[in-house]
Structure 1
Amino acid sequence: MTPPPKRLLLRRSLSASLSLALAAFGTAAAVVLSSAPPARAAGVPAPSPLAVPGRGATVPFKEQEAEYATTNGTLIGPNRLYGTLPSEASGRQAVTLDAVGEYVEFTLTAPANAMSFRYSLPDSPDGTGRDASIDVRVSDGAPKSVPVTSKYGWYYGGYPFNNNPGDTNPHHFYDEARTMFGSTLPIGTKVRLQVSSTAASPTFTIDLADFEQVGAPVGRPSGALDVVSDFGADPTGATDSTGRIQAAVDAGRAQGKEVYIPQGTFQVRDHIVVDKVTLRGAGPWYSVLTGRDPSNRSKAVGVYGKYAADGGSSNVTLKDFAIIGDIRERVDNDQVNAIGGAMSNSVVDNIWMQHTKCGAWMDGPMDNFTVKNSRILDQTADGVNFHYGVTNSTVTNTFVRNTGDDGLAMWAENVPNVKNKFTFNTVILPILANNIVTYGGKDITISDNVMSDTITNGGGLHVANRYPGVNSGQGTAVSGITTAARNTLIRTGNNDFNWRFGVGAVWFSGLNEPINATINITDTEILDSSYAAIHLIEGATNGLHFDNVRIDGAGTYALQIQAPGTATFTDVVATHIAQSNPIHNCVGSGFQITRGSGNSGWYSDPPACTGTWPDPVWTNGGVPGGGTDPTDPPTDPPTDPPADPGNIALGRPVTESGHADVYGAANAVDGNANSYWESTNHAFPQTITVDLGAPKAVKRVVLKLPPATAWATRTQTLSVSGSADNSSYSSLKGSAGYVFDPADGNTATITLPGTSARYLRLTFTANTGWPAGQLSELEAYTS
C-alpha cells in the first residue's frame, strides 16, 4: 500500500558525556593561513552531534564544520529562525562564498581518500533548480571540478509542498555531494572548496565536509551471480538495467546464490523486487543504483520486498551498495523510496540512500527486519518508517541527515507495531517533524541515539497517539513499556509554524486518545533546546518517568505542560533555562508531578500561566543571547505581558465533544487558518471548549474557517457559554446562525458582554455546509 500523507493533514470539503561549554569542533582542527582571514566563528563553538562518546552511530568519516575552517568567505548564523539559510545548517552556522576565489579550506585530521560536503545554492527563478560546480583543491594540486545542484532542495508552500518560488515558506535548502581524491591524503593535507565562477550560481554556501578513508572495492563472492558478466547489466549507466538486474535477482533466488553488483553506476527505473536472496555490491562508493522512468515519474529506482498482500518477502540481505535517486518533489502516493515493501527476517547493511522520497518505508505486517551501518541523506520525506504492523525490527548504527519529514519513525497504523528498536543512531536536521518518533506501538525501545537540530513542526524525541489508525481499539496505541534510555538531544525542538509556540525537545501527544502506558526516559541529556526541554500537548499522557535526566539550556521552559497527565521525576537537573519560572502549566492539577530525590532547577509552584508565549532565548551552546561573541550582553527573557494581550485563546488547552479523522480541537487554537477542527459528523450538538488559564473578561470572539474558496459559503448555528470551573456554564451569547463567506475571509465575529470566564465553550447545532461543527480558528479578545 502507498503511504498516505501524515504531516499537516489539512485537506477537506544522566551521563555527562557532553557539556554545552564544550569547545567541540566535531573532529576538526581549525587552521588559519596568513594569506586568508579566518571566519569569525561563534564565541563558544556549538556542541557537535558527532562528539558524544558511546552514543549515536559509529561513522566512517571525520567531520569538519565550515564555520571553524580557514576561509575568506562570510560566516552566516548562528540563527534558528525557520526559513533562513543558517537555520538549516549543522550547528545553525555556515559560510557563504559569493566571489571568484573565495573558499573554505579544511585540514585533514586523519588520512582520507574521499569527501562529501554539504552545501546550498540559491534556487533558480523558475524553481527547476540550477546546476553549477565548485573546485576541490588539494594542497597545491590541480583543481577538480565537482558538480553541485539545487534541484534536490528548495520547497515552497504548504504540505506536501511545491517548487514554485512565488509561493511562501521556502525551506529544504541543502544537499550533499561526494567525490574521491584518487589517492590517500595524509594528515595535515589542506583541502579547499573554492569558487571558480559565479556565472551558474551567484553564491555557494558551505555547511560542512566529511572526510573518510574508503576501502578497496569488495570483490565478487565465490559462486555469486554477477549482474554484469552473467546478465548483461550496463555499469556505465547509459542504458536501462532494470530488467537485467531483476533477472539476476530471480535467478539468485531460484539457485540459492548471492547476486553481485560490481563497480559501476546502473540505471534502474523501477523496483527491483527481492525475496529469499542476497544482493551485494562492491561498496556504497563503488556500486550505485540510480534512475527514474523518463515518462512515468511515479516509477523510480528502489529495492522492494513483496507487499504483505502478495505474501511478503523474507530472508533478504541487501549489502554494500548505494541507491541514489532523482526525486525532486514529494508525492506521497508515489512509491519512489530507496527500500520498501515487506521483508521479514531480513537485513539492510551498509547501504547509502540519497535523493529518494524515503530511505526505507516498510509496510507490514512483517517481522525481524534490521537496517544497520547505513547512511540516509537528503530525502523528501522520512528516513525510515516502520509502518503498519512491523514487529521485532531494528534500525541501528545508522546516520541520518536532512530528511524532509521524520528522521526515524514507527507508525502503527491499524496494525500493531511491537518490540521495535531504534538504537545507536545519529539523526540530524529533519527539515519537517521529528528526529525520532513512535506513533503508537507496544514495548518500543529508543536508546543510545544522538538527535540534533530539529528545523520545524516537531521535536527531537516524540511519543504519541497521533495520526490515523493509532488507537487502543485496534491495539495500536502506545502501550506496554516505552524505553527511551541514554539518548542525547542537541538543539532539538523548534517553532511549529501552525501552533506558533515552541515544540519541546522531548514531547508527548495524546491527540487521538490519552496515552496510558509506562514511558521511561532515563540517563538522557537534553542540551540547548530551541524551546522547552519537555512538552505535553493534545490530550493526556500518563505513566511518564524521568530518571537521571540532565537539561542544560532551554530557549523557553524546562517543562511546557499543555495537557493533563502523570509523571515522576528523579535526579532531573536543569540549568540555563531562559524563563525565570521553569514551568509553564495552565492545566493546573490536571498534571500530577511526583518528585523523587536529586531534582533541581526545573520545578516551580506555582508555575507560569501566561496569555502569551515568550520569545525563545537561543544560547547556541552557552553564549548569552545566542550572539557570536561571548562578550555580547545577555538577552533578558521577557517578563511583562504586552499591554494588549491579543488573541488569548492562541495555543491554549482545548477540549471537544469529538472530532472526525485527524481534525482535532488543537487545530482551532494553533494560529493557522488552514488547519481546522471538525466535530464528529452527524452528531449535533457538538462542543469545543478552550481553557484561557485564568478568568478573563472576553468581549469578542472571532471564528474562522480556512480562507480557500473551496470552502463554500455556509451558515453555522452556535451559542457561546462560559464557566469558572469547567463544570457550571452560563450563557454568554444565545444560539444564532453565523455566515462564513470566503469572499469575506470566511470569518465571523461575535460580540460578548465581557463577563469573566476561564472556560469558553461553543456549542454547534447546525451547519449548512457539512454535518458537523467546523472551525479553523477560535480567537478570543478582551478588547
Structure 2
Amino acid sequence: MTPPPAGPRLLRRSLSASLSLALAAAGTAAAVVLAGAPPAQAAAVTAPSPVGISGRGATVPFKEQEAEYAATNGSLIGPDRLYGSLPSEASGRQAVTLDSVGEYVEFTLTAPANAMTFRYSLPDNAAGTGRDASLDLRVNGSSLKSVPVTSKYGWYYGGYPFNNNPGDTDPHHFYDETRTMFGSTLAAGTKIRLQVTSTAASPSFTIDLADFEQVGAPVGKPSGALDVVSDFGADPTGAADSTAKIQAAVDAGRGQGKEVYIPQGTFKVQDHIVVDKVTLRGAGPWYSVLTGRHPTDRSKAVGVYGKYSAQGGSSNVTLKDFAIIGDIRERVDNDQVNAIGGAMSNSVVDNVWMQHTKCGAWMDGPMDDFTIRNSRILDQTADGVNFHYGVTNSTVTNTFVRNTGDDGLAMWAENVPNVKNKFTFNTVILPILANNIVTYGGKDITISDNVMSDTVSNGGGLHIANRYPGVNSGQGTAVSGTHTAARNTLIRTGNNDFNWRFGVGAIWFSGLNEPINGATINITDSEILDSSYAAIHLIEGASNGLHFDNIKIDGAGTYALQIQAPGTASFNKVVATHIAQSNPIHNCVGSGFQITQGTGNSGWYANPPACTGVWPAPVWTNGGVPGGGGGPTDPTDPTDPPDPTDPPEETGNLAQGRPVTETGHADVYGAGNAVDGNADSYWESRNNAFPQSVTVDLGAAKSVGRLVLKLPPAAAWATRTQTIGVTGSTDNSAYNSLKAPAGYTFNPSSGNTATVTLTGTPVRYLRLTFTANTGWPAGQLSELEAYTS
C-alpha cells in the first residue's frame, strides 16, 4: 500500500465447480507446437493458470497463452520463485528469452482476435532510465508491424520506497505490458509471432505471455452529450495539453446535467481532472486514452479525481469506457499521481483501463457506495486499488489486476472505520511486493470468488490483519464483525519475505498492532494450491475467531500450517496433500494456539507439531506434483512404503471438475461437460473425424483402477456401441496403453453406462480415444468417472 503522505511499506459457486489445478489458458497452451517451427529448447513445467477459472475471478475478454508453451527457438527460463530473478516475476514463474536476431515466440490463435497485449521484459540500461526497442509482429510468417517495447517502467532497486540506481541491490519489477491492434480480425488458427530483428537497442527480450481479444468498434457519442473535442477543443492527437479543456467540459457537464464524451484519440493531461456529479465516458479503453505528466512538476500527472473529503467529497460520478495510461517511472508516496483518486460516493468506475500510474485507484474517504467494475489495472508502481480510511459499502468486482508494485487490492482503515466493503470476482496476479488481496482492519468485510496467484515477495495471497498506522479497536478500525472469505482460489501465493526469511503463508493473519479479538473470520469453500511456503500462517500478536471450512490445500512449499502467534481456529473438511515437510504443522507457541477439529479433515494435523530453529528450504510442486520430493516419502510414488505422514488414499471420482482438453467438439458440446458431474450434459466430437480424444489432468499421478463412462440417461439416446482405447501419461508427453481399443455398449435400459477395468498403473493424464460409434459419426461422452478401485 502507498499512503499519501509517505507511509510504511506494506509488505458462484461450488468448490467442485471451480478449478483444482486447472490449466484454463494453458489447456490449449499445453503445447502449441506448430508444423515447421522448432519446439522450445526446454520443456516448460506445467503450471496452473489463474485465467479462465470457472465461476471465479474476473470474466476477461481475452484468451491468454503463456510463451513457455508456444512455439519458439528461444530459451526457456525458470521455473524459479526466488525474489530478484527474472522468472520469479513471470506468470507461472517461467518465460522465454530471445537474445539473437531471428529468435521468436509464435502463438496460434484459439479464437478470432483483432488485438493483443503481451507481457515482456527488457534489461535495464546502465543509467537506470530504461531502454527502448521494438519487436517484429508477424502474422502467418509475414511482417505486420514493428511494436515498440521499453524497460523505462520497470527495474527498481534497493529497499522501500526504491530507486532507479542500478548500482544498488535487489533489482525487481522487471516486466511491462504493451498492447496493439492488428488492423483486422484474424481467424482462429492464425500464427502470431513476436520476432527479434535487431539486438542493437536491447541485447535480449523476455516474453512472458500474450492476451488475444476481439475489441469491439468504438462507442459513439451518447445523444445530448458534450464532446471534449468538438465542443471544447481538446486535442485528440496528444500534441497539445488538453487538461484545461477537458476540465471545462466536465464542469459544463455537471452544470448542465449532461454526459461528457471523450471521442477516439490520445489526450495529453498533465494534472487531475476533478469530477463531481457528472458522467465522463469514452469510446472504449482501446480508443479513448488519457495520458501525460507535467513537464516540470513531476508530482503532477494524469488522473481523474473526486474532491477530497475535506472539500466535501464528490458524488454521483460515472467514469466509463476509456483508458488512463500514465508515465510514472518511480515511486514517490507523497505524489498524487494515481489514475483515480479522492473521494467519490454513490459513484461507479466501469470498463476503465489503468496502467503506468502510481496506483490504479487510491480512494481517500470518508466516502460511501463506490464501485470499480469490469476494469483492468496493469503495471502500477504501488497498489492496484486501496480503500483508505472511511470507505464504506464499496466494491471492486470483475476486475483484472496484474503487476502491481505493492498490494493488488487493499483496504486500509487508517483512523476511520472501513465497513461492509467487498472484493468479489477479481483476478489478481503478480503483486511484486506485498499481498494479492488484503484488509488492514475493517468491519464486516467480504473477499470472495476471487483468484489470486504468483505473489513475489513480502506478502501472501490473502491477508487479514490489525497492522499499520491507525488500525486499532480504540478508533473502531480494527478487524471486527464478520469477515467472509469464500470461494477463493489461490495459486502459487505467499513468498519469501527478505526480512523474515522464513516465508509468508498463502493465507495469513497478523495481530501486530493488537490481537484480533471478538471478530468472526470465515474462510470457506476455497483452494490453496502450490503455495510457495506455508498454506496458512499466523504471526505477530494473536488472531482469534478463525474458522476454516471446506478448504483444499494441494501443495505447500513448507507447511500446511505455520503458527508463530497464539490464536484460536476451527477446522472442518480441510484436506491437505503434497505438503513438503513430513510434519505438516510448525508451531512453537504450543497450547497458545487452540485448534478445534470438526469432521472430514486430513493431511494437515500432527501432534506434536514441528518446532525447529532452522527453517526448511521450500519445495515447490508446480501443480501439486512433487518436483523435488515431498518430505521423506512421496505419496504419488507407488513404490514408496506407507508412512503416517502420507495423505490418505483418495476416494470418489478423481476426474470430476479436473482440467480437460480435447481434439475438438461440435457446437456447444465441449469436453468440460464430460467432467462436470452432470450426466445430462455431454461432449461430442466433430462429425466424421475419427479418431477423437478427451484428456483429463488428474493433478497428480494416481492409481486408476476403474473407469465409469456415461451417456445421458434419457431414453431418446438409443443403444450404441463406441470403440474406445485408454492411454495414460505422467508428463502429458509420452502416453502408454492402459486398455486396448474395444467396443463398449451404452444401453439406456441399463443407465447408458459402461465400465472399463484397468490395472491401476499410476497416471496423471488420462486419455480416451474414440475411433467408432454405431449411433453417431462422432465420439460422445457425458461423464468420465475415474476411481482407484
The secondary structure found in structure 2 opposite 1:254 is helix
Paired amino acid for 2:559: Y
Which runs of structure 2 are paired with 1:278-317 in the superposition (5 Å)? 278-317=279-318
The secondary structure found in structure 2 opposite 1:295 is coil
Corresponding residue for 1:745? none
Deviation at 1:397? Answer: 0.0
* Counterpart contact for 1:21–1:44, Cα < 8 Å: no
Identity %: 88
* Counterpart contact for 1:24–1:45, Cα < 8 Å: no
User: Which string of whole-angstrom CA distances, capped at 9 and with x for unpartnered residues, describes residues 384-418 of structure 1?
Assistant: 00001000000000000000000000000000000
- 1:273 equivalent in alignment to 2:274: yes
Of 578, 592, 611, the residue aligned with 1:576 is: 578
User: Which string of whole-angstrom CA distances, capped at 9 and with x for unpartnered residues, describes residues 571-622 of structure 1?
Assistant: 0000000000000000000000000000000000000000110000011123
User: CA 1:88 to 1:441, structure 2 compared with 1: closer, same or farther past 3 Å?
Assistant: same
Query: How far, CA to CA, are the matches of 2:290 and 2:166 in structure 1?
Result: 31
Paired amino acid for 1:328: R
Which runs of structure 2 are paired with 1:479-518 in the superposition (5 Å)? 479-516=480-517, 517-518=519-520
The secondary structure found in structure 1 opposite 2:92 is helix
Query: How far, CA to CA, are the matches of 1:397 and 1:9 in structure 2?
Result: 24
Query: How far, CA to CA, are the matches of 2:487 and 2:528 in structure 1?
Result: 11
Query: How far, CA to CA, are the matches of 1:449 and 1:252 in structure 2?
Result: 36
Paired amino acid for 1:596: G
Corresponding residue for 2:200? 199
User: CA 1:5 to 1:549, structure 2 compared with 1: closer, same or farther past 3 Å?
Assistant: farther
Deviation at 1:35? Answer: 3.5
The secondary structure found in structure 1 opposite 2:455 is coil
* Counterpart contact for 1:30–1:107, Cα < 8 Å: no
Corresponding residue for 1:756? none
* Counterpart contact for 2:44–2:69, Cα < 8 Å: no
Query: How far, CA to CA, are the matches of 2:57 and 2:452 in structure 1?
Result: 8
* Counterpart contact for 1:412–1:441, Cα < 8 Å: yes
* Counterpart contact for 2:17–2:55, Cα < 8 Å: no
Which runs of structure 2 are paired with 1:117-266 in the superposition (5 Å)? 117-266=118-267
Deviation at 1:21? Answer: 7.6
* Counterpart contact for 1:41–1:68, Cα < 8 Å: no
* Counterpart contact for 2:157–2:164, Cα < 8 Å: yes
User: Which string of whole-angstrom CA distances, capped at 9 and with x for unpartnered residues, describes residues 324-355 of structure 1?
Assistant: 00000000000000000000000000000000
The secondary structure found in structure 2 opposite 1:228 is coil
What TM-score do you get using the length of structure 1 for normalisation? 0.79
The secondary structure found in structure 2 opposite 1:143 is strand
The secondary structure found in structure 2 opposite 1:145 is strand
Corresponding residue for 2:786? none
Paired amino acid for 1:93: Q
The secondary structure found in structure 1 opposite 2:107 is strand
Corresponding residue for 1:33? 34
* Counterpart contact for 2:7–2:333, Cα < 8 Å: no
Query: How far, CA to CA, are the matches of 1:592 and 1:436 in structure 2?
Result: 26
Corresponding residue for 1:598? 600
Query: How far, CA to CA, are the matches of 1:605 and 1:183 in structure 2?
Result: 63
* Counterpart contact for 1:154–1:173, Cα < 8 Å: yes
Deviation at 1:43? Answer: 6.1
**RMSD between aligned residues:** 1.9
Which runs of structure 2 are paired with 1:330-341 in the superposition (5 Å)? 330-341=331-342
Query: How far, CA to CA, are the matches of 1:617 and 1:149 in structure 2?
Result: 34
Corresponding residue for 2:764? none
Which runs of structure 2 are paired with 1:207-606 in the superposition (5 Å)? 207-516=208-517, 517-606=519-608
Query: How far, CA to CA, are the matches of 1:404 and 1:65 in structure 2?
Result: 22
Deviation at 1:23? Answer: 8.2
Deviation at 1:624? Answer: 2.9
The secondary structure found in structure 2 opposite 1:176 is strand
Paired amino acid for 1:70: A
* Counterpart contact for 2:136–2:143, Cα < 8 Å: no
Gap runs ≥5 in structure 2: 630-635, 646-789
User: CA 1:43 to 1:130, structure 2 compared with 1: closer, same or farther past 3 Å?
Assistant: closer
* Counterpart contact for 1:24–1:46, Cα < 8 Å: no
* Counterpart contact for 1:347–1:370, Cα < 8 Å: yes
Deviation at 1:245? Answer: 0.1
User: Which string of whole-angstrom CA distances, capped at 9 and with x for unpartnered residues, describes residues 193-226 of structure 1?
Assistant: 0001000000000000000000000000000000
The secondary structure found in structure 1 opposite 2:244 is helix
Deviation at 1:27? Answer: 4.8
Corresponding residue for 1:616? 618
Deviation at 1:83? Answer: 0.4
Deviation at 1:292? Answer: 0.1
Query: How far, CA to CA, are the matches of 1:341 and 1:82 in structure 2?
Result: 33
Query: How far, CA to CA, are the matches of 2:52 and 2:338 in structure 1?
Result: 31
Tell me how many residue pairs correspond in the alignment.
630
Corresponding residue for 2:78? 77
* Counterpart contact for 1:281–1:319, Cα < 8 Å: yes
Deviation at 1:31? Answer: 2.9
* Counterpart contact for 1:340–1:363, Cα < 8 Å: yes
* Counterpart contact for 1:520–1:544, Cα < 8 Å: yes
User: CA 1:26 to 1:413, structure 2 compared with 1: closer, same or farther past 3 Å?
Assistant: farther
Deviation at 1:45? Answer: 1.2
The secondary structure found in structure 1 opposite 2:607 is coil
* Counterpart contact for 2:529–2:624, Cα < 8 Å: no
* Counterpart contact for 1:93–1:207, Cα < 8 Å: yes
User: Which string of whole-angstrom CA distances, capped at 9 and with x for unpartnered residues, describes residues 219-255 of structure 1?
Assistant: 0000000000000000000000000000000000000
User: Which string of whole-angstrom CA distances, capped at 9 and with x for unpartnered residues, describes residues 39-60 of structure 1?
Assistant: 1565651000014210000000
User: CA 1:21 to 1:68, structure 2 compared with 1: closer, same or farther past 3 Å?
Assistant: same
Corresponding residue for 2:103? 102
Corresponding residue for 2:743? none
Deviation at 1:37? Answer: 1.9
* Counterpart contact for 2:103–2:196, Cα < 8 Å: yes
Deviation at 1:141? Answer: 2.9
Query: How far, CA to CA, are the matches of 1:51 and 1:621 in structure 2?
Result: 16
* Counterpart contact for 2:29–2:66, Cα < 8 Å: yes
Deviation at 1:3? Answer: 1.8
The secondary structure found in structure 2 opposite 1:473 is helix
* Counterpart contact for 2:114–2:214, Cα < 8 Å: yes
What TM-score do you get using the length of structure 2 for normalisation? 0.78
* Counterpart contact for 2:44–2:76, Cα < 8 Å: no
Query: How far, CA to CA, are the matches of 1:249 and 1:27 in structure 2?
Result: 45
* Counterpart contact for 1:382–1:405, Cα < 8 Å: yes
User: CA 1:44 to 1:122, structure 2 compared with 1: closer, same or farther past 3 Å?
Assistant: closer
* Counterpart contact for 2:22–2:53, Cα < 8 Å: no
* Counterpart contact for 1:15–1:525, Cα < 8 Å: no
Query: How far, CA to CA, are the matches of 1:144 and 1:403 in structure 2?
Result: 29
* Counterpart contact for 1:28–1:109, Cα < 8 Å: no
User: Which string of whole-angstrom CA distances, capped at 9 and with x for unpartnered residues, describes residues 363-394 of structure 1?
Assistant: 00000000000000000000000001000000
